[in-house]
Amino acid sequence: MSRTAYLRDSNVVTLEWFLSVVLRLTVWVTCIVKNEERRIPMEREDNRLAYQGKIEAQLKEWGSQIDLWQDRGMGGNRQLLEELNHKRQTVRRKLAEMKDVSDEQWQTLTAELDGAVEDMRSAMSDAREQFPLMEV
């Protein structure tokens, strides 16, 4: 075998090896990108579910407190209890609207829901000042 033939064969092997490495790297990078694309929507969905779960838990807590106040017969403060129930329904309605919405709508509805939740928190705080001995 001549030196020229050996170098030519050696270069072919080196080129084949290089191309196989490039192909493997391309496949590897493609797999990583595809996994990232799948992971991001799953994380987004997990975040949405966690957010909704947090609001639902808060609604349940508020509901039990309002029910307690109603059961204890706060007749003189019926207007306050009606206002609390109305605000609680507003939060529930906005939370229900958030199911299965696009990312743009999610951002808008999250801001609206955060405002409704803060309004409800403030109303509950005011109500606790009027009914201090009636905690759950």
At 93-116, the pLDDT tens digits run 999 988 878 878 888 888 999 999
Structural domain range at position 45 = 3-130
3-state helix, strand, coil in the chain (%, to 5): 90, 0, 10
The answer to whether residue 136 is domain-embedded is no
Q: Mind listing the pLDDT tens digit for each residue in 13-45? A: 577 777 777 777 777 777 666 665 555 555 677
Domain assignment present for 108: yes
Query: Per the domain annotation, does 135 fall within a domain?
Result: no
Dihedral, CA of residue 53, residue 58, residue 63 and residue 65, to nearest 10 = 150
CB 106 within 8 A of CB 97: no
User: Is 17 within a domain?
Assistant: yes
User: Taking CA 90 as the corner, what is the angle to CA 88 and CA 93, rounded to the nearest 5 degrees?
Assistant: 110
Residue 113 lies in a domain: yes
* Helices first, then strands: H and E counts in the chain: 3, 0
Is residue 19 one of the residues assigned to a domain?
A: yes
pTM of the predicted model, to two decimals?
0.63
